[in-house]
Amino acid sequence: MLIAALGLLTTGCAMLAPSPPQDQGNICEIFREQPQWYDYARDSQETWGTPIATQMAFVKRESSFRSHVRPPRKRILWIFPGPRPSSARGYAQAQDPVWGEYKADAGSTFARRTHMKHATDFIGWYNARTHRQLGISLHDPERLYLAYHEGAGGYRRGTYRNKPRVMRAASQVGAQASRYRAQLAACEAEFRCRHFYQVWPFCRA
């Protein structure tokens, strides 16, 4: 009975996770489907400095906005499921060691990689650390992504230069962030001051 109850609880939690947005190429449509995601990304931007458009470009690249995605398991003899290649998980595909560092340094003990609020805050925290360690501008999404993927040490060593797929991914993140930024400039007013308690001059303009 206990196992069955736990199974139902797990299923229920999974069902509560938002579905991926229908139009992932348009940040306005993403926030129209999930307006609270705008609030989370705005909070992260104000705390850590990474622009909203860059945060969402990272999430699109890492998980396609799927809350519980994990790297596929490797196959043993092409049949049996083996171990996963990494511990990456959730919207930001954060791995266990760095997620632990984030929780210890800035996040709540109860932070979850499967919640957009914590994923955007993690991306902001990580990029702020990258900026301190490597001097990469928070307005340079392509290089931020290279450091996000390779880590500070890998970025310093230039490990990405021998990884064409990583370099293409970083270029795509940069282009997506640019598109998101232009789109958001045209629609952001929809998401500011939309709550009944957000009244001028106290709302976040």
**Mean pLDDT throughout 130-135?**
98
Give the span between the Cα atoms of 132 and 125, in whole angstroms: 11
Coil, strand, or helix at residue 64?
A: coil
Predicted confidence band at 14 (pLDDT cuts at 50, 70, 90)? very low
Q: What phi, psi does 80 have (nearest 5°)? A: -85, 135
204 versus 179: which is more confidently predicted? Answer: 179
Tell me the per-residue pLDDT of 17-60, one tens digit each, with 9 for 90 and over: 789 999 999 999 999 999 999 999 999 999 999 999 999 999 99
pTM of the model: 0.84
Kindly tell me if the per-residue pLDDT of 5 is higher than 60: no
pLDDT tens, residue by residue, 144-191 = 999 999 999 999 999 999 999 999 999 999 999 999 999 999 999 999
Please state, rounded to an integer, the average pLDDT across all residues of the chain: 86
| Average pLDDT rounded to a whole number, residues 64-79 | 69
Angle at 18 between CA 14 and CA 21, to 5 degrees: 140
Q: How confident is the model at residue 2 (pLDDT cuts 50, 70, 90)?
A: very low
Per-residue pLDDT, averaged over 120-143, amounts to 98
**Per-residue confidence (pLDDT) for residue 198, from 0 to 100:** 56
Query: Residue 151, by phi and psi: left (phi above 0), alpha (psi -120 to 50) or beta?
Result: left
